[in-house]
Amino acid sequence: MNRFEILNRIYTNPVKKVVEENYRVKSIEIDHEMEALPGQFLMVWMPGEGERPMSIGNNKPLTISVADVGKVSSRICALKEGDPISYRGPFGRPFDFPRKGKKILVIGGGYGIVPLYFLAKTAKENGLEAYGIVGGRTGKDIIFEKQLFAVCKEAFITTDDGSRGKKGTVMAEAEELIENRGFGCVYACGPEKMMKAVAEMCKKHGVPCEVSLERYMKCGVGVCGSCAINGKLTCLEGPVFSGEDALKMTEFGSKCRDASGKAVNV
Amino acid sequence: MITLQTEFFGKKLKSPIMLASGVLDMTKESLERACGNGCGAVATKSLSLEARKGHEGPNIVETECGLLNAMGYPNPGIEDGLKEFQGWKRDEALIISIVGKDADEFAKLAETIEGTGNLGASAVEAVLSCPHTPGYGMMAGQGTPESVAEITKAIKGKTKLPLIIKLSPAVPGEVAAAKAAEEAGADAINMGNSLGPGMRIDIHRKKPVLGFGIGGLSGPAIKPIAVRCIYDIYKEVKLPIIGTGGVNSGVDAVEMMMAGASWVGVGTAVYYRGPTVFGSLVREIEAWMKLNNYSSLKEIVGGAHE
């Protein structure tokens, strides 16, 4: 399908299963096997409420994991098995597998682990060897632990308060791994300051890296410019950017835009 | 030697291609990128007095022959907006697009622009033609000759910058509206905006797709209407015209210029051909001129009236 057909086609399919991941995140499995790649996103439409970009957590069955943080996301979280869900996609630039080497590291902060689990799973299916770190503020924020451990050769947990895994940020585990394990590529998704720290560390050690950025999106297809980060379009040219490109963006890790386009701190 | 150079209120532009307001224009760096990609001039997001989040999504949906959109003028408001765009130093022209609910609001917007130092803008564009935002444009009846004249005078009274009035191709009597703008002191006409409003209904959910329900139609479907409007205005009005509506290729741009447009606004083509479309249009215009023995745009603009 080309991108025009993707925008034109609104899928409506039944919810197959709802899984409560933690106190605020639910995974919605949809009765649809979609040709989507890790890193891509859907525009999920709740008629009468609005539309939100949601990163894809699995393709077969199509799965999104939604944090109950706003008007539209709380309505998505309220969906029950058998309810219809409408969406368009997949949109955006996916993660790339490494050019060299077979080992990858995924680093997810909070629910940033969602697309990275999909990536690690796809990597394993393609003969790559995945390692994982998932971090959260507390043990309650850690999600996708079982799934991640199932597809990774080794995986680690970190929490800011030390209630699970190593105490500290994901960097507490990341530095040693990035420096010594010879990864073909490191992938990060989560709070932007975390992604920036990962990108800088990868740069320091000469390891390729990709980050998945989040910006306020209106159209989702590269027309309106609401999701611009230093002139680049997060919806069309991202959300996945190379660490190298991201580090050149002065707004990376510092500024984003609210719905009105006003620059605010990330 | 073929040149696409054109004059625009004291600036020599490298091409007649202009980034239409509302597209890829939330940040200064996005505008700079459009310039780097071939635009001769760029318009900002339309700025209102106060910040606006815009309509709830979906904001855009494709139809068989164009896009339907209802953005709802998301913008940070005139003051933060001007802070974003000020300090423009490029050779390409910067156009500050504004939207107001009435002549008073337009006057206040113009006053704020006039009072902002180091802006670097070449013109102000007043949009009187949005088909899908309550209180603005078509939904506020701003396209009538009386309203156009009142708003034009209000803005001209507050700023020395050249004023472009952006009209809708949906108004019966767009020629009268353009004439009213001319008589009230406007400096150029932008013909036009998205057409409509239109609607697309999702037959599974039995609901209009756009969050706002209705939206403006843009793209190839509206080009013949825009061309006709430009043709008619060119005959009756002496002001130079920006032709906007459905231009998707170099020959589309040539057609618009032959109808009477001095410059060509581009928006929806970004969707069809990507964010670097402007340079492609420039190269296509050049190639067409070469093939048909034209050397400058002067030989093309208004050519259909000879």
List the domain boundaries for chain A: 3-91, 103-265
**Interface contact flag, A233 B29, Cβ < 8 Å:** no
From first to last of its 306 residues, chain B has per-residue pLDDT tens of 899 999 999 999 999 999 999 999 999 999 999 999 999 999 999 999 999 999 999 999 999 889 999 999 999 999 999 999 999 999 999 999 999 999 999 999 999 999 999 999 999 999 999 999 999 998 999 999 999 999 999 999 999 999 999 999 987 789 999 999 999 999 999 999 999 999 999 999 999 999 999 999 999 999 999 999 999 999 999 999 999 999 999 999 999 999 999 999 999 999 999 999 999 999 999 999 999 999 999 999 999 998
Q: Which residue of B has its CA nearest to A6?
A: B62
- In the numeric block, which tokens belong to residue B174? 């767009």
CB A214 within 8 A of CB A54: no
| Separation of alpha carbons A94 and A135, rounded Å | 22
Which tens digits make up the pLDDT trace of A216-249?
999 999 999 999 999 999 999 999 999 999 999 9
| Separation of alpha carbons B247 and B256, rounded Å | 8
Residues of A in contact with B57 (CB under 8 A): 43, 45, 50-52, 218
For residue B24, give how far its alpha carbon lies from the nearest alpha carbon of chain A (Å): 4
**Interface contact flag, A261 B274, Cβ < 8 Å:** no
Q: Which residue of B has its CA nearest to A50?
A: B57
DSSP string, chain B: -----EEETTEEES-SEEEPTTSS-SSHHHHHHHHHTT-SEEEPPPB-SS-B--PPSP-EEEETTEEEE-----B--HHHHHHHH-S--SSSEEEEEE--SSHHHHHHHHHHHHT-TT---SEEEEE---SS-TTSGGGGTTTSHHHHHHHHHHHHTT--S-EEEEE-TTSTTHHHHHHHHHHTT-SEEEE---EEEE--EETTTTEESSTTS-EEEESGGGHHHHHHHHHHHHHH--S-EEEES---SHHHHHHHHHHT-SEEEESTHHHHH-TTHHHHHHHHHHHHHHHTT--SGGGTTTGGG-
CATH number of the domain to which B108 belongs: 3.20.20.70
Q: Which residue of B has its CA nearest to A71?
A: B56
Q: Which residue of A has its CA nearest to B272?
A: A4
Q: What is the pLDDT of residue A3?
A: 66
Tell me which residue range forms the domain holding B252. 6-51+72-199+220-305
| Separation of alpha carbons B157 and B162, rounded Å | 12
Say how many CA atoms lie within 13 Å of A2 toward its Cβ.
Answer: 5
Alpha-carbon distances of A6 from A1, A61, A160, B255, rounded to whole Å: 7, 18, 40, 31
For A3-91, give the CATH class. Answer: mainly beta
Nearest to B57 among A12, A50, A231 (CB): A50
The answer to whether position B249 is within a domain reads yes
How many domains does one find in chain B? Answer: 1
For residue B189, give how far its alpha carbon lies from the nearest alpha carbon of chain A (Å): 23
Strands A185-189 and A103-109: parallel
The answer to whether position B59 is within a domain reads no
Residues of A in contact with B24 (CB under 8 A): 223-225, 228, 233
What is the ipTM metric for this complex? 0.93
> Within an 8 Å CB–CB cutoff, is residue A124 touching chain B?
no
Options 3.30.70.100, 1.10.630.10, 3.40.109.10, 3.40.50.80; CATH for A103-265 is: 3.40.50.80
Residues with Cβ < 8 Å from B254, sequence gap 6 or more? B285, B288, B289, B300
- In the numeric block, which tokens belong to residue A207? 């390891």
**Interface contact flag, B24 A86, Cβ < 8 Å:** no
The secondary structure of chain A in percent helix, strand, coil, rounded to multiples of 5, reads 25, 35, 40
**Interface contact flag, B26 A236, Cβ < 8 Å:** no
Nearest to A231 among B30, B45, B61 (CB): B30
| Separation of alpha carbons B173 and A118, rounded Å | 56
Residues of B in contact with A233 (CB under 8 A): 24, 275
Is the pTM higher than 0.90? The answer reads yes
Q: What is the pLDDT of residue B171?
A: 72
**Interface contact flag, A261 B76, Cβ < 8 Å:** yes
Strands A255-257 and B207-208: unpaired
Nearest to A225 among B25, B67, B207 (CB): B25
Q: What is the pLDDT of residue A1?
A: 58
| Separation of alpha carbons A73 and A25, rounded Å | 10
Residues of A in contact with B23 (CB under 8 A): 223-225
The answer to whether position B63 is within a domain reads no
A74 φ/ψ sector (left φ>0, alpha ψ -120 to 50, else beta): alpha
The answer to whether position B62 is within a domain reads no
